[in-house]
A and B are shown apart, each in its own frame.
Chain A
Amino acid sequence: MSNHNFTHLDALESESIHIMREVAAECKNPALLFSGGKDSIVMLRLAEKAFRPAKFPFPLVHIDTEHNFPEVIATRDKLAADLGERLIVRSLEDSIKKGTVVLKNETQSRNVFQSVTLLETIAEFGFDACMGGARRDEEKARAKERIFSFRDDFGQWDPKNQRPELWDIYNTRVHAGENIRVFPISNWTEMDIWQYIEREKLEIPSIYYAHEREVIQRAGGIMPVSHLVQPQAGEIVVTKTVRFRTVGDITCTCPVESPARNAAEIIIETATTRITERGATRMDDQTSDASMELRKKEGYF
């Protein structure tokens, strides 16, 4: 006999649970990075499946750019509170005050500087492993990253010198000062995430679903108008029905035009879309074909 009803989502879920339990068992002081975005909400459900009826054996950590969509922060706080888990928030503003992050101006995208605050937070708490919700289908450089991705004491990723990863046997060892980034949903795609959100009936920020929003046309995309993004001379503000496929820094995350009002409708759209998730929504990934790889080498997730 074998398990004939075991679907691809079951297989992915079981793999992710196995990875999280390895982290809990073998790492001394792990953390789970949680932003309130859809991928990290999936991670939270997987952690529940891995550790309930006990509490998580690690805190949730958010590196806050303070360039947020308010709906995302509200969901972040509500989910952490509902689950009764500890949430640590460290802000980019702290790094700016300390002088370790120097911005050109207030409206500059802060995604790239998250690395600095993340490394400072890792040092503050002595985390030896940080679990994140990155997926290999997001970007070319991620496609080559291991599930357990070793970082040196500067947080750097060396793509040419990665530890081989075989079967489901993970090498979690680090020396003092070094750490490991762990990606339990490496093998999930955008489609898997949406199917899982629907199957598990996960609560996600409302901006992932279709809503009316004031936007401006800029650089071939549509930018959401916010306190940080205002129309420049000659730009016209229009109201469109949009949803966000990813949520990040509000100054560089673009919505897509869509009427999809629930997960089932998004699944249908995702099956037929012709543009990648990041290609459609992240201005900071389009500066060069290798921009993600360069950021990761500097300690970015």
Chain B
Amino acid sequence: MENTTTQLLRFITAGSVDDGKSTLIGRLLHDSKSIFEDQLSAISKTSEKRGMATVDLSLLTDGLQAEREQGITIDVAYRYFATPKRKFIIGDTPGHEQYTRNMVTAASTANLVVILVDARKGVLVQTRRHTYLASLVGIPHIVLAVNKMDMVDYSETVFNAICTEYRQFAAQLGLSNITCIPLSALVGDMLVDRGDNLNWYEGTTLMELLETVEIDHDLNTTDFRFPVQWVCRPQTEEFHDFRGFMGRIESGEVAVGDEITIQPSGRTTTVKEIVTYDGNLERAYAPQSVAITLADEIDISRGDMFVGKGNQPKVAKEFEAMLCWLSETPLDKNRKYVIKHTTRSVKCVFTRLDYRVDVNTLEQHDATTLNMNDIARVAIKVQQPLVFDSYLLDHGTGSFIVIDEATNNTVGAGMIA
């Protein structure tokens, strides 16, 4: 049982309140034996109090007092479970329209999204919305879980019709990496166990898919990007001349002797050592946290980025991005905001709002401001140059958050075009 060689998979679930999303998570946890007896007994009591005949597994994910009182999920909750093959982190996001920001938040770190539809209802407006958001945030793997198959007599025809419609819609967004699974979260068919009701289906169960989906290439593995987080200068006898540039490799890999460029200055040098607490490395990969020492003495500080040969990032003060507005206070074009991008924070203004996307119809509308949950194409000007890639190429160097300096709140999330 020493699961020290298991991989970590982060996934999210998206669906409306009635699609059985919480039941699906509860079922995954229950059937993989990740629910503890005291948790089960607590929710059994609550189910009984509410007059339910069976234990409501959805109660497992309702964390806050307000939610338990109202019976709804109001924020992103993280759940953990493990099988002998993988450790999983589930970001549980609510399905209500007003909570687009929560899905974007949880999606930003996910390898995979499970989009739920009710087999009786098929592809709905919210299914399109969730799929659009998944494509916007660039979740690498999409699973369409056609739930409540027990309510449509486990019909293969119904399942196939939903899958065909969904794939056609997803293709318009440029999405092709989609797996469709018929299941019943309530009964337990095709989640952990195959059950006896869906014998016509030859694909994997949801759990098998979660355990085996290939995630090694979810990160950009070719372009070395290393934002400097912290400069380590011990100033002790033993390490008198040590200057280690500490950070996390956002993408690609690096080896001792590699030539690198330091942006935005553009100076070049070579990697002398890759230092870790557990000893020096010859080579390091994303997403490792390491310290790098260099052959030459160059003035480098937090916010600079080490870049490898090959594809080069852009170094610019102006760029365009898709922006999701997260704050109840609307975006004010006349104001300055702060952008935090990798390890660099700069002042910015929004010079243009090109259009706002209706997440239900994907239609583009004119925009003069942005309200909470709005998604828009914008042009941005920053005070000092940023070193960035397109979000499509590199999530680490293509993403940023917007901070309102008056309140210090995080008010926006951006993906560079």
Contacts and interface: CB of A to CB of B under 8 A. Distances in A.
Given A25-B343, A53-B232, A160-B66, A169 B401 contact: yes
B39 interface: yes
A7 B285 contact: no
A218 interface: no
Contacts of A173: 403, 405, 408
9 closest A-B pairs (Cβ-Cβ)? Answer: A279-B38, A3-B285, A8-B8, A17-B289, A140-B63, A54-B234, A173-B408, A49-B277, A166-B108
Contacts of A137: 80
B36 interface: yes
Given A50-B289, A274-B36, A140 B82 contact: no
A274 B244 CA distance: 45
Nearest to B408: A173
Contacts of A279: 36, 38-39
A175 B408 contact: yes
Interface residues of A, number: 72
B64 A140 contact: yes
A162 B285 contact: no
A186 B396 CA distance: 21
Most buried by A among B46, B89, B233, B242: B89
Nearest to B244: A53
25 contacts: A3-B286, A6-B288, A9-B4, A15-B287, A18-B229, A18-B248, A21-B230, A21-B289, A24-B230, A50-B289, A51-B232, A144-B76, A159-B64, A167-B396, A168-B248, A169-B340, A171-B401, A171-B408, A171-B409, A186-B78, A187-B80, A275-B37, A280-B38, A290-B68, A294-B65
Nearest to A17: B289
Contact of B403 (A55, A171, A199, A280): A171
Given A7-B5, A171-B340, A25 B36 contact: no
Contacts of B7: 6-8, 11
Contacts of A25: 229-230, 302, 343
Interface in B1-27: 1-8
Nearest to B65: A290
B74 A160 contact: yes
Interface in A251-301: 264, 267-268, 271, 273-276, 279-280, 289-290, 293-294
Contacts of B277: 48-49, 52
Interface string A158-180: 01101111111101011100000
Interface in A154-210: 159-160, 162-169, 171, 173-175, 186-187, 189, 191-192, 195, 198-199
Contacts of A53: 232, 234, 236, 238-239, 242, 244
Nearest to A139: B63
A169 B408 contact: no
A186 B233 CA distance: 29
B6 A7 contact: yes
Interface string A1-36: 111111111111111011001101100000000000
B230 A164 contact: no
Contact of A1 (B37, B104, B232, B253): B253
A136 interface: yes
Nearest to A269: B1
B247 interface: yes
Nearest to B338: A173
Nearest to B287: A14
Nearest to A51: B232
Given A21-B246, A166-B105, A54 B219 contact: no
Contact of B39 (A2, A166, A267, A276): A276
A260 B286 CA distance: 37
Contacts of A3: 253, 285-286, 288
Contacts of A2: 216-217, 219, 221, 253, 285
A18 B46 CA distance: 40
B399 interface: yes
Contacts of B342: 169
Interface in B357-402: 395-396, 399-401
A271 B3 CA distance: 10
Interface of B: 1-8, 36-39, 42, 46, 62-66, 68, 74-80, 82, 86-87, 89, 101-102, 104-105, 108-109, 216-217, 219, 221, 229-230, 232-236, 238-239, 242, 244, 246-248, 253, 276-278, 285-289, 302, 326, 340-343, 395-396, 399-401, 403, 405, 408-410, 413
Given A6-B285, A174-B408, A21 B4 contact: no
A143 B91 CA distance: 10
Contacts, number: 197
Contacts of A12: 8
Contacts of A225: none
A141 interface: yes
A157 to B, nearest CB: 11
B159 to A, nearest CB: 33
A179 to B, nearest CB: 12
B108 A167 contact: yes
Contacts of B253: 1-3
A162 B232 CA distance: 32
A26 B79 CA distance: 29
Nearest to B228: A25
Given A14-B248, A164-B105, A49 B400 contact: no
Contacts of A50: 246, 289
Most buried by B among A159, A264, A268: A159
B64 A144 contact: yes
A169 B104 CA distance: 14
Contacts of B77: 143-144
Given A166-B413, A191-B82, 5 more contacts: A7-B7, A9-B4, A18-B248, A169-B399, A275-B36
B408 A195 contact: no
Interface in A95-113: none
Nearest to B10: A187
A73 to B, nearest CB: 26
A235 to B, nearest CB: 24
Contacts of B2: 195, 198, 264, 267
A18 B289 contact: yes
A15 B250 CA distance: 11
Contacts of A14: 248, 287-289
A11 B288 CA distance: 8
